[in-house]
Amino acid sequence: MTWKEIVYPSPKLQELYRLALSICAATILLGAWGDINYHPALLVVLPALFIYQFSSYFTANESISLPRRQRLAVVMELIDGVITGFLLAFVGFDPIVVLGLGLMFIVTIVGSLKPTSPLELFGVFIGAVLTTWLLPISITLGSGIQLFILVIGAGYALLQANMARHTHFLFADQHDSVLRQNEWLTLPAFRLSKYLSPALRMGINSSFCKLGNFGTENRLDYTLLGRAVNLASRLESSAESNEILISKDTYDLVKSAVHCVDKGQIPIKGFATAVDVYSVIDLHKNLKSDSPAQIQRQAIA
């Protein structure tokens, strides 16, 4: 799979995850500020979290070309994993914080079944390793901060579960709607089939004809009249079972899209001269993968 083939499946879900992750990160850093002697680097990290959260806007902005949005989305998902791994290692893998952040992370990568989930897992590993190596310090969070992180994680998971439930019911309603439409379309077709020969063969001709109400004031019939209609009817009568016969005029209109076999000139009742007739095989696009020998066998069949 190339980068251009990766489609960002759920930007809204990832935006929500980044918002929750940014809140947890800001809470952890502010809570640990005293443990790091109020280092001024925190004043740079907090605005960076805001920029990180705002970057989700660019992954969903349709004014940006799709390939660029896809590349940016992949980079951002790697950063998501790195930040998650950083926070886990920064707090010394505190069990309660790991539970809260881990719950958010697992729901995000499993809930949408994204093709980039391994990349986020790799980001978590890289973030945790680099933090352990570069920041060999021990941070102890208060019980209030631990509880807050756990509540954020649980709330995020419940929200995603509710969204998944809503999506499930939406798809179920759409499925039921499609079934009802199919039933509505199938019933008239079934009734119509009782009036047709079991052999639906077909004759098609292209020309001008008269269409409308014909008859008297006491009795009208909405039908087609003309030489073109008669030829189409004769072609249907001449066709074999499950065969479609078309005239030369129709063949000239569809030959670029439909593969036909020339059946030569055949006599048609009611016409003084023989008529050029073609038998329809299939659409050209459906026969592209077939070899010439296969097409010939289909034509003979």
Domain boundaries, the chain: 3-173, 202-300
Q: Cβ(63)–Cβ(14) under 8 Å?
A: no
Instruction: Looking at 91-225, list the stretches that DSSP marks H as alpha helix, in order from N- to C-terminal side.
Output: 95-111, 117-134, 143-193
13-22, 231-240, 279-288, 292-301: least confident range: 292-301
Average pLDDT over residues 109-128: 81
pLDDT at 148: 92
Task: Kindly indicate the confidence band of residue 253, based on its pLDDT and cuts at 50, 70 and 90.
Answer: very high
Chain Cα centroid distance, residue 102: 29
Average pLDDT over residues 154-170: 84
56-70, 95-109, 206-220: least confident range: 56-70
* CA gap 105, 63 in Å, rounded: 29
- Does the pLDDT of residue 37 top 80, yes or no? no
Amino acid at 204: I
Buried b (16+ CB within 10 A) or exposed e, 157-183: beebeeeeeeeeeeeeeeeeeeeeeee
| Residue with token string 């940014």 | 22
Task: Kindly indicate the confidence band of residue 286, based on its pLDDT and cuts at 50, 70 and 90.
Answer: confident
* CA gap 97, 88 in Å, rounded: 7
State whether CATH 3.40.50.880 applies to domain 202-300.
no
- Does the pLDDT of residue 153 top 70, yes or no? yes
The CA-atom distances, in angstroms, between 162 and each of 127, 165, 167 are 30, 5, 9
Q: Which of 82, 95, 87, 18 is nearest to 49 (CA)?
A: 18
- Does the pLDDT of residue 2 top 60, yes or no? no
* CA gap 39, 238 in Å, rounded: 93
DSSP conformation letters of 271-300: -SS-EEEEEEEEEHHHHTTS-HHHHHHHHH
DSSP conformation letters of 220-234: EEEEEESHHHHHHHH
- Does the pLDDT of residue 6 top 60, yes or no? no
pLDDT at 192: 61
62-71, 98-107, 243-252: least confident range: 62-71
pLDDT at 4: 40
pLDDT at 5: 41
- Does the pLDDT of residue 219 top 60, yes or no? yes
Residues 6+ apart with CB under 8 A from 237: 203, 269
DSSP conformation letters of 48-76: HHHHHHHTHHHHS-TTS-HHHHHHHHHHH
- Does the pLDDT of residue 151 top 70, yes or no? yes
Q: What is the mean pLDDT of the chain?
A: 80
